[in-house]
């Protein structure tokens, strides 16, 4: 059979990894796909930078040379960002080409428009590499778990922030130094605030929630909080209480809607997911039939991500000649079967909490705090008062609560912060047991 022709947009970390894997494993990949997957040309901005890797592969600085090339069957978008990536993908679809992308930002923001266009044109848009790097989580959720009603999922889905948290905890490394290292290793986004502030994880969570629950992409409704305000003190107190702090993306089917949230989270240290370190990712999915399943692997980097890109290329190649109606729907559910279940505002989310506050060590302070919590219908699970540091008048008080609704916690925090005996702001970190039940 004649080869299928691929055009690469971008030859950076992931594009370079993709070219390398396609070349190195060409024989195996052809045996799997049923025909050769041949890269016909690539587009970059800086020709000199890409020359060595490209070898005799024709290069262009105009990405439309790739997208408009009639010889090309599949366009692989690995340049990142929203524009011109969106325009290029839409143009590729309009030209009747399949698209493979690792661009979670693009899919989370414009996926609804992109999938509708692809559906109308009868082409595929594959995006395995967009979530959790090399872990085949899209395929697992979309196909492997299709018997299940998904109840919730929780994932460590940003390698950079997990790498930073791990290095800070294990080596006492400084935040900025570890971030620099993550950038050098090719893990970080072009704008690293996307990693640190939870935005990249929210892009990925948006995609996972759409496939898990059969809802449209709703990135703008996801709650996003990153790791930049975490202190080493809180990491240490969490450990003393038997928890690890991880940046989690959580999507949960609740009574009145779907929770969609990214934030630092205390997890019991005995959970497997609490022990996922460095740039590794893991996604825990709870289905009603299968129970909890855990997917673990490299969440970033050249070849791990290329592994997912090439798997998509093989899938698209196998299905290239299939009737479009016989293909797996982009979002797992048939396009006319998407549900309008609302995303819950953060105020309505139910979870447990770690609260740390600084208070003067005076009689009655604890009574005031516990009264405020009781009045807000918040039940305390554990409470610790630390010894004051040498020469200090204030002490750290750490409270763990049972599950409660976020708006009650917010109201209680405001009242606690208003107490004369309490100094500064209350540190609030959400806590999830992630139990199998």
First to last CA, the chain: 50
Helices 406-417 + 365-375 axis angle, to 10: 150
Q: Which of 139, 204, 246, 286 is catalytic?
A: 204
| Separation CA 151–CA 47 (nearest Å) | 48
- Longest CA–CA separation in the chain, Å: 83
Decide: is 303 part of the binding site for ligand HSE (CB under 6 A).
no
Q: Which of 431, 399, 394 is nearest to 413 (CA)?
A: 399
**Nearest distance from C-beta of residue 291 to ligand HSE, angstroms:** 27
Question: Between the CA of residue 183 and those of 160, 168, 176, what are the distances in Å?
Answer: 8, 16, 11
432 binds, among ligand NDP, ligand HSE, none (CB under 5 to 8 A by kind): none
> How far apart are the C-alpha atoms of 255 and 258, rounded to whole Å?
8
Minimum Å gap between C-beta 389 and ligand HSE is 35
* Tokens read off for 435: 């139990």
Instruction: Provide the mask over 150-189, with x wherever binding to ligand HSE is found by CB under 6 A and - wherever it is not.
Output: --------xxx--------------------------xxx
Least distance to ligand NDP, CB of residue 12, Å: 2
- CA–CA dist 34, 40 (Å, integer): 18
> Interface residues for ligand NDP in 106-145 (CB under 6 A)?
129, 133
Q: How far apart are CA 281 and CA 298, in angstroms?
A: 6
Taking the least distance from each CB to ligand NDP, the nearer of 197 and 432 is 197
- CB of 17: closest distance to ligand NDP in angstroms? 8
- The smaller minimum CB distance to ligand HSE, of residues 77 and 195, is found at 195
User: According to the binding rule CB under 6 A, does residue 312 interact with ligand NDP?
Assistant: no
Q: Among residues 23, 24, 49, 371, which is the contact residue for ligand NDP, using CB under 6 A?
A: 49
Contact 188, 169 (CB under 8 A): no
Nearest residue to the partner ligand NDP, using Cβ: 12
How many Å apart are CA 213 and CA 258, to the nearest integer? 9
Spatial distance between the Cα atoms of 86 and 298, rounded to a whole number of angstroms:
27
Q: State the DSSP H helix or E strand holding residue 427, giving kind and residue range, or none if neither.
A: strand 422-431
Q: Is 249 in the site for ligand NDP (CB under 6 A)?
A: no
List the single partner that 186 binds among ligand NDP, ligand HSE, none, CB under 5 to 8 Å by kind: ligand NDP
Work out whether 377 is an interface residue with ligand NDP (CB under 6 A). no
Q: Catalytic site residue 204?
A: yes
Among 39, 40, 43, 235, binds ligand NDP (CB under 6 A): 43
Based on the shown chain and the rule CB under 6 A, indicate whether residue 84 belongs to the binding site for ligand NDP: yes
Report the candidate in 316, 307, 246 with the shortest Cα–Cα distance to residue 35: 316
Q: Which of 12, 17, 80, 133 binds ligand HSE (CB under 6 A)?
A: 133
**CA distance linking residue 430 with residue 73, whole number of Å:** 47
Q: Using the rule CB under 6 A, is 300 a contact of ligand HSE? A: yes
Q: 29 exposed, middle or buried (CB, 10 Å; 0-12, 13-18, 19+)?
A: buried
160 binds, among ligand NDP, ligand HSE, none (CB under 5 to 8 A by kind): ligand HSE
Binding to ligand NDP by residue 15, rule CB under 6 A?
yes
Residue 167 and residue 178: Cα distance in Å, rounded?
7
Question: What whole-number distance in Å separates Cα of residue 187 and Cα of residue 163?
Answer: 9
Q: Which of residues 158-217 bind ligand NDP (CB under 6 A)?
A: 186-187, 189-190
Per rule CB under 6 A, is residue 102 in the interface with ligand NDP?
yes
- Residues within the interface to ligand NDP (CB under 6 A): 10-15, 43-46, 49, 63, 78-80, 84, 102-104, 129, 133, 186-187, 189-190, 300-301, 305
Active site residues: 204
* Positions in the binding site for ligand HSE (CB under 6 A): 133, 158-160, 187-189, 195, 200, 299-300
């Amino acid at each position: 059979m004649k080869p299928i022709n691929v055009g690469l947009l971008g030859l950076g970390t992931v594009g370079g990894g993709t070219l390398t894997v396609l070349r190195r494993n060409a024989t195996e990949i052809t045996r799997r796909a049923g025909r050769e997957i041949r890269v016909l040309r690539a587009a970059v901005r800086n020709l000199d930078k890409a020359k060595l890797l490209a070898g005799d592969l024709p290069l262009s600085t105009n990405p439309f040379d790739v997208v408009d090339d009639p010889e090309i069957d599949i366009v692989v978008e690995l340049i990142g960002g929203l524009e011109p990536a969106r325009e290029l993908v839409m143009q590729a679809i309009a030209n009747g080409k399949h698209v493979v992308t690792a661009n979670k930002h693009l899919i989370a923001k414009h996926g609804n428009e992109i999938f509708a266009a692809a559906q109308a044109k009868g082409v595929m848009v594959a995006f395995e590499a967009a979530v959790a790097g090399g872990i085949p989580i899209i395929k697992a959720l979309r196909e492997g778990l299709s018997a299940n009603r998904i109840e919730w999922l929780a994932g460590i889905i940003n390698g950079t922030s997990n790498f930073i948290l791990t290095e800070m905890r294990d080596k006492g490394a400084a935040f900025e130094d570890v971030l620099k290292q993550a950038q050098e290793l090719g893990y970080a986004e072009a704008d690293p605030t996307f990693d640190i502030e939870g935005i990249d994880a929210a892009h990925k969570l948006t995609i996972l929630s759409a496939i898990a629950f059969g809802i449209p992409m709703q990135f703008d409704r996801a709650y996003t909080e990153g790791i930049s305000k975490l202190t080493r003190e809180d990491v240490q107190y969490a450990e003393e209480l038997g928890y690890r702090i991880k940046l989690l993306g959580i999507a949960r089917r609740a009574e009145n809607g779907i929770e969609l949230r990214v934030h630092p989270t205390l997890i019991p240290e005995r959970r497997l997911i609490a022990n996922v370190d460095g740039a590794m990712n893991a996604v825990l999915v709870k289905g009603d039939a299968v129970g909890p399943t855990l997917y673990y692997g490299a969440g970033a980097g050249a070849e791990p991500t290329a592994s997912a890109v090439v798997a998509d290329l093989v899938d698209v190649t196998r299905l290239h000649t299939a009737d479009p109606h016989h293909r797996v729907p982009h979002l797992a559910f048939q396009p006319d079967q998407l549900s309008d279940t609302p995303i819950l505002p953060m105020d309505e989310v139910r979870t447990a909490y770690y609260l740390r506050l600084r208070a003067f060590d005076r009689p009655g302070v604890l009574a005031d705090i516990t009264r405020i919590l009781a009045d807000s219908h918040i039940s305390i699970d554990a409470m610790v008062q630390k010894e004051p540091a040498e020469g200090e008048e204030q002490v750290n008080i750490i409270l763990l609560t049972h599950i409660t609704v976020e708006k009650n916690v917010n109201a209680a925090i405001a009242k606690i912060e208003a107490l004369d005996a309490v100094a500064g702001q209350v540190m609030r970190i959400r806590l999830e047991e992630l139990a199998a039940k």
